Amino acid sequence: MFGGKRSAPCPYCYEGVDVAAPAFRCSGRPAPGRVACQKQQDDVRVTVLDDATPGFPAFHPERGRRLGTAYEAECPHCSGPTGIRLCPNCHSTLPANFTASSPVFGLVGVRGSGKTVLLSVLAAELTSAVARRFGASIDTVGNSALLGRLQSVRQSLEPGGDGRLPAQTAAFTKADTVPAVFEWQMTRQRRGLGGGTDSTILSFYDTSGEDLATLDRAREQHYLAATDGLILLLDPFGLPENRDTALARGVNPENLDDTPMQVLSAVTGMLREADRLGPNKKIKRPLAVVLAKIDAFFAEVDSDHPIRRLPGNRPVFDERESLDLHHHVEALVERWGGDDVLRHLRFNYTSHRFFVASALGAEPDYASARVNGRGLRPHRVAEPLLWLMAERGFLVKER
């Protein structure tokens, strides 16, 4: 749908944006002698994002009224020049380096699979450890309700916080579902393309705690269709052989209603519809399948098992290490009764890879929703994203 070179999904609303024809927002600096524009409520933002924060007027320049490039325009009210580009659909400010090739990566998983905790930890890892590892500058862009929520989730899980795990994510409200957006800039890694800087806009959204029966398929499909790669969080407690363990440890049985197999087939169904794929055609979008909460299973494997090992720290994507982990996870999934999951992936995706992650690093008290007193020790949370970026050629794969 967004295959054309000029268009990429807006990182906030996932509608296709023609990068040659953005909307603009007045900068508030009028041309000499003109009356300055005043901040006002933006009705488009109210309707699409439920955001009534006042701002300078937004406008859609007519062709010819633009100042030379699609990076600048002249305010029709005060004639002041502005370089604040907006998505024409939701009037969010487009990141400075937003281009037609900016990727969007989604994170999906059903109720209780660990999305909110993982995203809050991933946000912190990206801007610190991952940025350091790749010598990159990775920052949040703009502010969404989600970024704020992720930060407060993390604060309550860190030492000094109240140790309380987040409540189930609220059902869909517009403000809640505005994605968290990051900009990743670094020295170009791809071979043969010379020096220079590469930049990528990353957009993640947090789906609310729905089960498959109540899922808003149209909305989910809109997001899924726009993504260039997906991270699918599966709850290993939901695999047949782990169910009893989960219940014995106090996991909420409602969170086990949908099995990983059911979740996966629902996602496959939505992607097939979104891409209008005929029978026997495989889905081309890379799919990172992540077994979340993996700390809960450390005791079942040897201490040098790949799921417990720390990932490498060099500024490349270590393909050999990743494949080794992939095969070991396949064996675990099989052992836990998920052989149907393995077959489904093989028949429906051209490119999938297994990962494990633990956002907390140690088991919480599931029944009282409180973390272990030692605070957060995230394990392997960034790997799935790094793989998606390597698949796109943004990071070097080392074999």
Ligand X SMILES: Nc1nc2c(ncn2[C@@H]2O[C@H](COP(=O)(O)OP(=O)(O)OP(=O)(O)O)[C@@H](O)[C@H]2O)c(=O)[nH]1
| Positions 69 through 108 that interact with Zn ion (CB under 5 A) | 75, 77-78, 87, 89-90
**Stretch touching ligand X by CB under 6 A, among 36-44, 114-122, 127-135, 193-201:** 114-122
What is the DSSP pairing of strand 23-25 with strand 58-59? antiparallel
Tokens of 16: 């296709």
Interface with ligand X, residue 116, by CB under 6 A: yes
Query: For 28, how many CA atoms within 13 A lie in the half-sphere containing its CB?
Result: 6
Nearest approach, Cβ of residue 364 and ligand X (Å): 5
Residue type, 31: A
Tell me if 116 contacts Mg ion by CB under 5 A: yes
Q: For ligand X, which stretch binds (CB under 6 A), given 5-13, 27-35, 62-70, 105-113?
A: 105-113
State the DSSP H helix or E strand holding residue 5, giving kind and residue range, or none if neither: none
Beta strands in the chain (DSSP E): 7-9, 16-18, 23-25, 58-59, 73-74, 81-82, 84-86, 105-108, 137-140, 180-187, 197-204, 229-234, 287-291, 317-318, 352-356, 397-398
The piece of 6-14, 116-124, 214-222, 273-281 that touches Mg ion (CB under 5 A) is: 116-124
360 contributes a contact to ligand X by CB under 6 A: yes
Q: Is 169 within 8 Å of 120 (Cβ atoms)?
A: no
Query: Judged by CB, which is closer to Zn ion: 225, or 251?
Result: 225
The residue among 45 and 111 lying less far from ligand X, judged by its C-beta, is 111
Q: Which does 165 bind (CB under 5 to 8 A by kind): Mg ion, ligand X, Zn ion, none?
A: ligand X
334 binds ligand X (CB under 6 A): no
CA-closest candidate to residue 146, choices 206, 91, 86, 87: 206
User: Which residue, 156 or 185, is less far from ligand X as judged by CB?
Assistant: 156
Per CB under 5 A, which of residues 3..62 are in contact with Zn ion? Answer: 10, 12-13, 26, 37
d(C-alpha 185, C-alpha 397), whole Å:
18
Q: Which residues bind Zn ion (CB under 5 A)?
A: 10, 12-13, 26, 37, 75, 77-78, 87, 89-90
